[in-house]
Each structure stands twice: as C-alpha cells, then as structure tokens.
Amino acid sequence: MLDKLLEADAIGLRLEWVGGLPLWEAHPTYRHQKAVDRIRQSIRPKEGGCPCVHVADVYVRFPDGSYKRPDIAIFGREPEELDEAITLLPEAVVEVVNRGYEAKDLEIAPRFYLSQGVKDVVVFDPYTLLVLHLRPDGAFRHVSPVELDLACGCTLTV
C-alpha cells in the first residue's frame, strides 16, 4: 500500500487511505507550508510534559490500517520507523486547511483522528484564522493567534 501512496506523491498528488477510502489533494501551497513551519517552531514541552517530538507531512499508519499524512504529528517519543510509515500513534495532530480541500481537513480528518485515539486534533484555516481544537470530550473554537495546551504536556501557538 505504501508503495502506491508514494507513487502518487511522485506525480504531484498527496494520497491517503482512510477507512478503506482513498483521499487525495494537490501538494500544499506556500501559505500552507508557512503556517506549518510557524506552528512547528512554536511547539514546546511544558514542565514535566512529553518531549513533543514533531514531524511534518509523513505517513502514519493508524490502528485500523489507514494511512494519513498529518500536516504536523506530535509524538510522546521518537518513532522507531525511519524509512517507512510510522506506526506509533500521535499524541496530537495539526491540520492546516488547504483551499479546495476544506471538507477533508474540517470534517473527515478530525473525526478519523479522534476515532483512532489521538488526544488532541487542531485544525487551522489560514484564510479565516479559525482554529478548532478537538478532544474526545469536546470541541473549542478560537481565532489565531492562540496558545493551546495539549493533553500530552505540549504547548503550541496557532
């Protein structure tokens, strides 16, 4: 499966396999990537929190067998996989909305991540500055810039 996903990447498509369905989008824009970089630079551990290991745009294989590429995945430790899809469940994920793919980022992704056991899902729309912070116990709306505390003990600014 991962081979097919990487072949799609080679021709300019970001392909994910979620719950048995293929989802695709074009490669992200400069605005999107700037937002990802800015958010990653702000990720830091709170005292006594996890080490906040974060990666951008890598395949994660989830417990149900789905493959997704979160814009940012935050882990409680270093993943073991260096040359294949990561199988360690992220503590948190951040998705930055890509224009034209709002439904994927705002509707499909958050439900999927929460169903797989991710504790914090953050969705940022760089066009409207909307920040959604979703947890198993509820959803919270903010306007960027906002500092968020994650269940794993990390803090980030969106």
Q: Does position 47 have pLDDT exceeding 90, yes or no? A: no
Q: What is the pLDDT of residues 56-81, one digit of tens each?
A: 999 999 999 999 999 999 999 999 99
Which pLDDT does position 8 carry in this prediction? Answer: 78
Query: CA-CA distance, 144 to 39, in Å (whole number)?
Result: 11
What digits encode the pLDDT tens for the residues 77-127?
999 999 999 999 999 999 999 888 898 899 999 999 999 999 999 999 999
Domain count, the chain: 1
Task: Give the model's pLDDT for residue 40.
Answer: 98
Asked if residue 136 belongs to a domain, the reply is yes
| 75: CATH | 3.90.1570.10
Closest of 86, 68, 74 to residue 150, by C-alpha: 74
The pLDDT value recorded for residue 112 is 97
Predicted confidence at residue 143, as pLDDT, reads 98
Domain that holds residue 71: 27-157
- Whether 6 shows a pLDDT value over 80: the answer reads no
Asked if the structure places residue 99 within a domain, the reply is yes
Q: In what order do the strands lie in the sheet with 53-56?
A: 53-56, 72-75, 92-96, 120-125, 130-135, 138-143
152 within some domain: yes
Domain annotation covers residue 20? no
Using DSSP, state whether 63 is helix, strand or coil: coil
Query: How high does pLDDT run on average in the chain?
Result: 93
pLDDT of residue 150: 97
- Asked if residue 3 belongs to a domain, the reply is no
Residue 133 lies in a domain: yes
In a domain, 19, yes or no: no
Helix and strand totals (H; E) in the chain: 4, 13
